[in-house]
Amino acid sequence: MTTDTISKTIGVVTELTVIAPLKEGGAARLRQVLTGLQTDPDSPIKQIDTIHFARWVIFDNDTRMLFTSNFDGPLEAYLRDFCVKTPQGMDAIFGNCEGYPAGGAADFEAFKAYVRKHQVPTDLFYPAYPESTVKAVKKALEIKALADQLLEKLA
């Protein structure tokens, strides 16, 4: 197990946990953004092909946001993917948080510093398949589907 700042990495999988204070009224706006991301079949989050899972939770009477994720590779590469592939999505989410950089995700160094400032250590991190990337899992599922089709034809 290695660490990238305070993120833990086991095999190829890294975790990230962030707790950030929300702006006044930010919870309502954030819920709208997250609902859109959840229901949009072309959600920007799907552009990041290294994410095993991502979760946002609004808590403490709508005053704080929890973001947790497991992903392939190092933290810096993951954050850069967000800034390059979905900066508007990151701004729509984290822009509801206090102290979010004025340049938003387009300013990678400021975005990275913001995330690291609000990052908290994870006490237990367990990836079920530490040596399997998201790409490998998707490929294995494709192969399984083809094998199932073949077995069905042979039955």
Higher pLDDT: 47 or 56? It is 56
- pTM value is 0.88
Calculate what percentage of the chain has a pLDDT beyond 90.
88
May I ask the CATH class of domain 2-154?
alpha beta
What is the spatial distance between Cα 33 and Cα 93, in angstroms, rounded to a whole number?
A: 7
Among residues 69, 67, 79, the alpha carbon closest in space to that of 14 is found at 69
Q: How confident is the model at residue 5 (pLDDT cuts 50, 70, 90)?
A: low
pLDDT at position 38: 86
- The mean pLDDT value for 114-142 works out to 95
Q: How confident is the model at residue 37 (pLDDT cuts 50, 70, 90)?
A: confident
Other beta carbons within 10 angstroms of residue 49's beta carbon come to 13
What is the spatial distance between Cα 38 and Cα 49, in angstroms, rounded to a whole number?
A: 16
pLDDT at position 2: 44
pLDDT at 125 over 80: yes
